[in-house]
Chain A
Amino acid sequence: MTPVRDTTAGRRIVVCVGSGGVGKTTVAAAIALDRALAGGRVLVCTIDPARRLANALGLTSLGNVESRVPDHKFAEAGLRAKGELHAMMLDVKRTWDDLVARHAPDPARRERILKNRLYQQMSSALAGSQEYMAMEKLYELATDRDYDLIVLDTPPTAHALDFLDAPDRILDFLGNDAARVLLAPAIGAGKLGLRLAQLGGGYVAKTLARFTGQAALSDLGDFLQGFQGMYEGFKDRAGAVRALLSRPEVGFVLVTSPSPISIDEAMAFHERLHAESMPVAGLVANRVTPDLWPGAAPLPSPEDLASPLGERGGNDRGFARRLAETLAEHQMLAAAERRALERLFEAVSAPYAVVPRLESDVHDLRGLARLAERL
């Protein structure tokens, strides 16, 4: 049974979401590889892949460069791709710069923004910046390129929902009318401090300057002025991205580990996608402890293991005891995870795949192909 594979099969865009550390990148790469093996021309866009996974995909640098995974990488893994697999690592700063360049009315304005201290901070440090740029890049790739499938891995946010909230938060920042009103008398003069001092009615602005410092206010004023007139373009674009994400050719794949925290995140995310009519293609429970003792029979005691162990090359009591303990611990964990996941599967009406914790980290194409078979 491969439920998630089936429901993602017809889509043109797959977005993998979930909290940090659940294996989103690996699942994204596996979905992409699977379609490439079947004959599709596929791109996987990752954010911060583990080094060995990056190597497996032939990713050596940032810089938004789409590079094709070479045939010999497939051959080494004993695979033959009927299609093509391309991979790319998102460069947040460059995506921002490109976006500014696209919307700036003239080169002077572009330079002014790119040189602003606050802009430089924002493109790397403002919360939501990475998420916003991931969506922006996705839109660009989806409209300008002719891939059969684009798989987007999303940034490792503390809260998965940040991904959907990011554009609004950044737009709120760029189009902050309150800031414009408060800074309006100062904007244009360049010498904010002077202007603030001159404002008879600038009681509010003066108090704020006492609080934040005037340099910060000047930077902000300069920055917002630079963006004046560009905001509409940004807003339209964000609207288009949102519309794209609601199309049926898009499928969100929720990735979770069996930990309660990550399950809660997945449920919250699902609720949100549902509320916004964004299409959920499936659910992947990753790194699940496999059930090695199915059924209701009691777990074996050390004595139960001693005699078959004796027949198979010798028994020592310590070994039998440790085997029994290890199985018992293993099963306790498996049962706790199953209970937690059942809650999720009941709440989320989407096809789901349960991927057992594999014996080693997935870090090559062969491992990805095996993972895909379990989706």
Chain B
Amino acid sequence: MVTGKGGVGKSTVSAALAVLAARAGKRVLVCEVNARERIAPLLGAPPAGAQIREARPGLFTLNVTPPDAMREYGIMVLKFRTIYDAVFENRLVRHFLRVIPSLAELVMLGKILFEAKSEERGRPRWDVVIVDAPATGHAVQLLRVPSALLDTVPAGPLRGDAEWMQALLLDPARTALAIVTLPEEMPVNEAIDLDAQVRSELGVPRAALFVNAMPEARFTHEEEARLESLAGEPPPLGPAAAAARLQALRAEQAQRYLARARAALDLPTTVLPLLPVAEWGAAAVERIADAIAAAPPEPAP
């Protein structure tokens, strides 16, 4: 499960983790949750939509949406397609289902976790399922569904499903939650709040922190001290020094927020470089995958 504040690079990290797994010869499924689909396009493949589709050898993508998940899940629960069609394709019922809180989350999570435990010829269908989960608040809503159901729903098929889903979500041998953040104030604050919620409410095994888009410390302190006055020089030196000064300031701020995230979160951490690329695509994802492979999440020294 990969989550974090909106705009921090969850999809990029999810895609890079998938690329790494596929490189290792694993069969991977990446699920997006009712999103404007990004993973397949990031990998240079056409969007998958609601059908699982191979983006590159061994790497499959899927965009899980409520209507499709509802249909699959409904047919599974009711066993008979005819009953599902008679009841659920009823216009009134469809309207009604839209307003049951958490039902959309339930069926989407159900679809994903069903894939995660499904088997083919006695073997797991997927070696790894990576979920590019929604942004913080919505991810918590999604992951909270099974436990909320266990609190409120009496025995029945729904409760049975909630039970196996919750068991799978809480099993550290099978599930891991990764938080993605940027070395900036709001994303780091949100990562800290999210982590606290995961620990106190969700109980999903916390596994890693990815600090994305970290500018490198490119200049020494002595050089930095010179940049301020050099920035006032005429071109070409002045503009080059001005750019360098902005870079140095950003790198310094980023270091502070990285330190704050590390101190507050106590999670195995990988720091990903800020890539100087104008367009995000397969090449950039490969580079992020390389960076993760070179320094996989490690506990703080």
Using a CB–CB cutoff of 8 Å, the interface residues on chain A facing chain B are: 19-21, 50-52, 117-118, 121-122, 125-127, 156, 158-159, 172-173, 176-179, 181-182, 203-204, 207-208, 210-216, 219-220, 259, 261-262, 292-293, 300, 304-305, 308-309, 312-313, 319, 322-324, 326-327, 329-333, 335-336, 357, 359-361
Q: Name the one of B74, B159, B219, B249 contacting A322, with C-beta atoms under 8 angstroms.
A: B219
* Bound: A52/B186 CA distance, A: 10
Whether A118 and B77, one on each chain, are in contact in the complex, defined by CB atoms closer than 8 angstroms, is: no
Answer whether residue B301 sits at the interface, using C-beta atoms and an 8 A cutoff.
Answer: no
Q: What are the residues of chain B within 8 A of A173 when measuring CB–CB?
A: 99
Whether B278 and A21, one on each chain, are in contact in the complex, defined by CB atoms closer than 8 angstroms, is: no
5 contacts between A and B (CB under 8 A): A178-B94, A207-B78, A211-B157, A323-B244, A326-B247
Q: What are the residues of chain A within 8 A of B159 when measuring CB–CB?
A: 213
* Bound: A181/B93 CA distance, A: 10
Q: What are the residues of chain B within 8 A of A212 when measuring CB–CB?
A: 100, 103, 158
Q: What are the residues of chain B within 8 A of A214 when measuring CB–CB?
A: 154, 156
Question: Which B residues from 138 to 194 make CB contacts under 8 A with A?
Answer: 138, 141, 149, 152-154, 156-159, 184-187, 189
Q: Name the one of A216, A313, A326, A332 contacting B278, with C-beta atoms under 8 angstroms.
A: A332
Q: Given A176-B99, A208-B93 in contact, is the A312-B237 Cβ separation under 8 Å?
A: yes
Whether B96 and A336, one on each chain, are in contact in the complex, defined by CB atoms closer than 8 angstroms, is: no
Main secondary structure of the interface of A (DSSP, over half): helix
Q: Name the one of B93, B185, B226 contacting A182, with C-beta atoms under 8 angstroms.
A: B93
User: Please, what's the 1-or-0 string for B222-253, where 1 marks a CB less than 8 Å from any CB in chain A?
Assistant: 01001001100101110111111011010001
Whether A176 and B240, one on each chain, are in contact in the complex, defined by CB atoms closer than 8 angstroms, is: no
Answer whether residue B5 sits at the interface, using C-beta atoms and an 8 A cutoff.
Answer: yes
Q: What are the residues of chain B within 8 A of A322 when measuring CB–CB?
A: 218-219, 244
* Residue ID in chain B nearest A294 by CB atoms: B239
Whether A21 and B6, one on each chain, are in contact in the complex, defined by CB atoms closer than 8 angstroms, is: yes
Q: Given A158-B134, A216-B152, A326-B247 in contact, is the A308-B237 Cβ separation under 8 Å?
A: yes
Q: What are the residues of chain B within 8 A of A204 when measuring CB–CB?
A: 87, 90, 93
* Bound: A235/B153 CA distance, A: 32
* Bound: A374/B125 CA distance, A: 56
Q: What are the residues of chain B within 8 A of A331 when measuring CB–CB?
A: 243
Answer whether residue B122 sits at the interface, using C-beta atoms and an 8 A cutoff.
Answer: no
Using a CB–CB cutoff of 8 Å, the interface residues on chain B facing chain A are: 5-8, 36, 74, 77-78, 83, 87, 90-96, 98-103, 134-135, 138, 141, 149, 152-154, 156-159, 184-187, 189, 218-219, 223, 226, 229-230, 233, 235-237, 239-244, 246-247, 249, 253, 276, 278-279
Whether A213 and B185, one on each chain, are in contact in the complex, defined by CB atoms closer than 8 angstroms, is: no
Whether B152 and A220, one on each chain, are in contact in the complex, defined by CB atoms closer than 8 angstroms, is: no
* Nearest-Cβ distance from residue B37 to partner chain A, whole angstroms: 12
* Nearest-Cβ distance from residue A140 to partner chain B, whole angstroms: 24
Q: Given A178-B96, A210-B157 in contact, is the A20-B278 Cβ separation under 8 Å?
A: no
* Bound: A51/B192 CA distance, A: 13
Whether B158 and A211, one on each chain, are in contact in the complex, defined by CB atoms closer than 8 angstroms, is: yes
* Residue ID in chain A nearest B144 by CB atoms: A125
* Residue ID in chain B nearest A330 by CB atoms: B243
Whether A21 and B7, one on each chain, are in contact in the complex, defined by CB atoms closer than 8 angstroms, is: yes
* Additional A-B contacts beyond A182-B96, A207-B83 (10; CB < 8 A): A20-B6, A20-B7, A176-B95, A179-B96, A215-B154, A261-B7, A305-B237, A312-B233, A329-B276, A330-B243
Q: What are the residues of chain A within 8 A of B276 when measuring CB–CB?
A: 329, 332-333
Q: Given A122-B101, A212-B103 in contact, is the A330-B246 Cβ separation under 8 Å?
A: yes
Whether B243 and A292, one on each chain, are in contact in the complex, defined by CB atoms closer than 8 angstroms, is: yes
Q: Name the one of B99, B152, B239 contacting A117, with C-beta atoms under 8 angstroms.
A: B152
Whether A156 and B77, one on each chain, are in contact in the complex, defined by CB atoms closer than 8 angstroms, is: no
Q: What are the residues of chain A within 8 A of B187 when measuring CB–CB?
A: 21
Whether A158 and B237, one on each chain, are in contact in the complex, defined by CB atoms closer than 8 angstroms, is: no
Q: What are the residues of chain B within 8 A of A215 when measuring CB–CB?
A: 152-154
Q: Name the one of A126, A207, A323, A361 contacting B241, with C-beta atoms under 8 angstroms.
A: A323
Q: Given A213-B149, A215-B152 in contact, is the A178-B158 Cβ separation under 8 Å?
A: no
Q: Name the one of B6, B74, B244 contacting A158, with C-beta atoms under 8 angstroms.
A: B6
Q: What are the residues of chain B within 8 A of A219 when measuring CB–CB?
A: 152
Q: What are the residues of chain A within 8 A of B236 when measuring CB–CB?
A: 300, 304-305, 308
